[in-house]
Structure 1
Amino acid sequence: MPESVVRRRPAERARRRGRLPAPPPVRGRRPLPLGLIAVLLVFVGLFAVGAGVGAATGFDLGDLFKGPDKPPPRAFPVLEPSRPQRLVIPAIKVEAPLLTVGLAKDGSVAVPPLDRHNEAGWFEEGPTPGQFGPALIVGHADTRTGPSVFHRLHELRPGQKIEVVRADDETAVFEVNSVEHFGKEKLPIKRVYGDYSRPSLRLVTCGGTWLGGGKGYSDNVIVFASLVGTKEV
């Protein structure tokens, strides 16, 4: 059959285009239309300016962003949902407002606009920081005009603290577990989106080698952190 008329499944098309699958909604939230679940997760504009999240293969959409049937025992803090408002990372001198980002019209995940590149974006289809599961915050590493909010994200080290100020006047305090670099073809999708063993946080930006304006950087930089406490604002 000619290549032009071969029909490929959405997952196959995703792999060929070098994008990530959109994570399924958190249990208890309004489900996304099936068409959106099947489309691809890509942080709009970041490939061109330096904080792009790359591709992955071998993923199973049904396993992503799925909460547990029964939450594990609470041997650690767990917070009720509350919209995050500000991100504070003392070790790298970050104190930034948090925008709410969701899915753009094309099914991609939106990011802070370039004129607000010193702000980070919380993905509202995932958990709020402090709930069970991986809350996702994305940000630019740089733009054509210079460094951005997550320019020094790669400098974080295990044991350092990340604070997220929430609308309920509580601050969720996370401890960095690891800071890891992944090539755009090797992002561990299930580990990033599917860990519901406890409340956790993922900070995502770019790193590695600059490949040019059409491709961005070669790698993704992901901070894995776990909730260890709270404090009042």
Structure 2
Amino acid sequence: MSPARLPESVRRKRPAEIVVPRQRPPEIDPPARPPAHPPPAGDAPRPQPPAGDAPPRRRFPRVPKPGKALNARGRRLPIGWIAGGLVFLGLFGVGMGLGNATVIDIGGWFRGPDKPPPRAFPVLEPSRPLRLTIPSIKVEAPILEVGLAKDGSVDVPPLQRHNEAGWFGQGPTPGQFGPALIVGHADTRTGPSVFHSLAKLKPGQVVEVLRDDREVAQFTVNSVENYGKAKLPIKRVYGDYSRPSLRLVTCGGEWLGGSRGYSDNIVVFASLTGTRKR
């Protein structure tokens, strides 16, 4: 009689493994972890979850294809619209940061109020300015009309006319409601220009503008201020329609060289305080 055949686990001097399938509760349990040392082939099979009780599928984040982007919910974003928006914002930032005399785009600021404020001070009808007089710094200069430069900033008189002032023709005329804007060069390679001494003006001093209707608009200086070209208070300089006023603007600060010019703007704020006939 042949001896009884021993189980494989006994012959390998390992106790036989007895596995009883575990009963799962109605809710879904996470899948059981495999044993640290799986049994060799031929031993008892690994337990399987009861039918209908498959472990939940793991969800992995979607990886966008090249050229595609996903939002927080995994949906594709319209790259074309995003790129177009960034380009628009970039162009807007450039338009607000370039220029010769004022280094800003002011095209939309000279609109004026829908209804002028009460006339508690002198107010003149529109009339083109002809001549600028500032006795305290010995300025006596003709005024020519200027518009916008190619970059959207206020243009300046041509260099061959650097001793003339430039009135921005798309804004109020001196004496109307709002800020009339007159710009000028501080100097050129050949020497001082019309607004070389503008920074020396003091509050209370007088600026006069002769107009085409022979009225002389008399302005009193409120303040003389210096701003870095990137920090010019646009609304205060160009958007104040509380009364008739004048802004005289030129370059100042440090010379940066080349096409960059000076680092700052000198701005004179003045208010209309009187008129006289010429």
Cα distance change on mapping 1:55 and 1:126 into 2, 3 Å: closer
The equivalent residue for 1:53 is 102
After superposition, the Cα gap between the structure-2 partners of 1:190 and 1:72, relative to the gap in structure 1 and judged at 3 Å, is same
Give the C-alpha shift of residue 211 in structure 1.
Answer: 1.1
The 1-side partners of 2:172 and 2:89 are apart by 24
Q: Distance in 2 between matches of 1:103 and 1:18?
A: 13
Report whether the alignment pairs 1:154 with 2:186: no
- After superposition, the C-alpha distances for 1:92-139 in whole angstroms (9 at most, x for unaligned) are 000000001113466443321100000000000000000000000010
Distance 1:106 1:16, change over 3 A: closer
Relative contact order, higher structure (CA 8 A, sep 6+)? 1
Q: 2:230 aligns with which of 185, 196, 199?
A: 185
**Distance in 2 between the 1:110 and 1:86 partners?**
18
- Asked if the contact 2:104–2:152 (Cα under 8 Å) also holds between the matched residues in 1, the reply is no
Residue aligned with 1:13, SS: helix
With normalisation by structure 1, the TM-score equals 0.78
3-state secondary structure, aligned to 1:195: coil
Distance 1:159 1:141, change over 3 A: same
Q: Which residue of 2 aligns with 1:111?
A: 156
Q: Alpha-carbon deviation of 1:11?
A: 5.4
| Residue 83 (structure 2) aligns with | 6
Count of equivalent residues: 198
Separation in 2 of the partners of 1:89 and 1:83?
18
Is the contact made by 1:54 and 1:183 (CA closer than 8 Å) also made in structure 2?
Answer: no
Q: Does structure 2 conserve the Cα–Cα contact (< 8 Å) formed by 1:55 and 1:186?
A: no
Alignment of 1:1-233 (within 5 A): 6-7=83-84, 8=86, 10=88, 12-16=90-94, 19=97, 42-43=99-100, 52-55=101-104, 64-104=109-149, 107-233=152-278
What 5-or-longer segments of structure 1 have no aligned partner? 21-41, 44-51
Superposition RMSD in Å: 2.3
The residue number in structure 2 matching 1:33 is none
- Per the TM alignment, residue 71 of structure 1 is displaced from its structure 2 partner at its CA by 1.1
Worse overlay, 140-149 or 106-115: 106-115
Report if the CA contact (8 A) 1:54-1:219 is conserved. no
The letter of the residue matching 2:97 is: R
Q: Evaluate the alpha carbon distance shift between residue 143 and residue 195 of structure 1 in structure 2; reply closer, same or farther with a 3 A threshold.
A: same
Letter in 1 for 2:83: V
Q: Residues 65, 151 of structure 1: CA spacing in aligned structure 2 closer, same or farther, 3 A cutoff?
A: same
Preserved CA contact (<8 Å) 2:112 2:241: yes
Bigger radius of gyration: 2
When normalised by structure 2's length, the TM-score is 0.66
Q: 1:216 & 1:204 partners in 2: Cα distance?
A: 15
Distance (Å, rounded) in 2 between the aligned partners of 1:102 and 1:188: 20
Distance 1:73 1:186, change over 3 A: same
Report sequence identity in percent: 69
**Structure 1 residue matching 2:136: 3-state secondary structure:** helix
Alpha-carbon distance, 1:53 to partner: 2.2
- Structure number with higher strand proportion: 1
Tell me the amino acid that sits aligned with residue 53 of structure 1: T
Structure 2 residues without counterparts, runs of 5 or longer: 1-66, 68-78
C-alpha displacement of 1:65: 2.0
Do 1:79 and 1:131's aligned partners in 2 also have CA atoms closer than 8 Å? yes
SS in 1 for 2:260: coil
**Residue number in structure 1 paired with 2:75:** none
Report the secondary structure of 1:190's partner residue.
Answer: helix
Shift in alpha-carbon separation, 1:215–1:154, aligned structure 2, 3 A:
same
The residue that corresponds to 1:28 in the other structure is none
Alignment partner, residue 46 of structure 1: none
Are 1:164 and 1:172, in contact at CA under 8 Å, matched by a contact in 2? yes
